[in-house]
């Protein structure tokens, strides 16, 4: 007979389960993240793609865990990851509202960039070229790919 080994699994648990009660000592940081999400949600709302409270909580918890891990990533890198993981995958379609949403999200990821030529049919390629200088570069680059797909095929999705 083999004797089972017992291991501690406390390292797998999180201290954050409920935003309203578990994050009181991090309230200012939570507000900072939620303010950013409100800006993103204002853009997403135009195409009915906004995030709800569950996604908000997941993003806040991710950002808190990053912060508490001695800033494993910078704030911008962590938020960039969350845009890639939680925001962009919900965007797909062929409506003009999707194109407009991608343009506005790109501007947001760049840090409110205003020099984008959206009428030439080459906005996606322009976005990809500019993405390295963005506040959220990975998301800006992906938005550029999504815009290129939209311009070429009339449809886009995160997964294409």
114 DSSP 8-state letter: -
**What residues make up the domain containing 151?**
23-157
Tokens (6 digits) for 81: 């990851």
CB 75 within 8 A of CB 35: no
Residue 109 covered by a domain: yes
- How many domains does one find in the chain? 1
Write down the residue that tokens 């409920």 correspond to: 18
pLDDT of residue 21: 77
Residue 42 covered by a domain: yes
The contacts of residue 86 (CB under 8 Å, 6+ apart) are 51, 55, 58, 59
CB 106 within 8 A of CB 140: yes
The residue ranking higher by pLDDT, 83 or 23, is 83
Residue 29 covered by a domain: yes
- At 28-63, the pLDDT tens digits run 999 999 999 999 999 999 888 889 999 999 999 999
Residue 48 covered by a domain: yes
CB 135 within 8 A of CB 76: yes
Residue 146 covered by a domain: yes
Residue 13 covered by a domain: no
């Amino acid at each position: 007979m083999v004797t089972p080994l017992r291991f501690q699994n406390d390292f797998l648990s999180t201290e954050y389960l409920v935003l309203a009660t578990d994050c009181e000592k991090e309230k200012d940081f939570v507000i900072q993240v939620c303010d950013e999400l409100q800006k993103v949600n204002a853009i997403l709302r135009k195409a009915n793609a906004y995030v709800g409270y569950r996604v908000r909580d997941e993003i806040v918890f991710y950002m808190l865990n990053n912060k508490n891990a001695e800033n494993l990533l910078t704030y911008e890198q962590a938020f960039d990851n969350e845009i890639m993981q939680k925001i962009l995958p919900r965007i797909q379609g062929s409506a003009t509202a999707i194109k407009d949403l991608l343009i506005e999200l790109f501007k947001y990821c760049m840090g409110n960039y205003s020099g984008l030529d959206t009428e030439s049919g080459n906005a996606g390629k322009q976005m990809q070229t500019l993405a390295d200088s963005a506040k959220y570069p990975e998301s800006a680059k992906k938005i550029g790919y999504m815009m290129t797909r939209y311009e070429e095929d009339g449809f886009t999705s995160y997964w294409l």
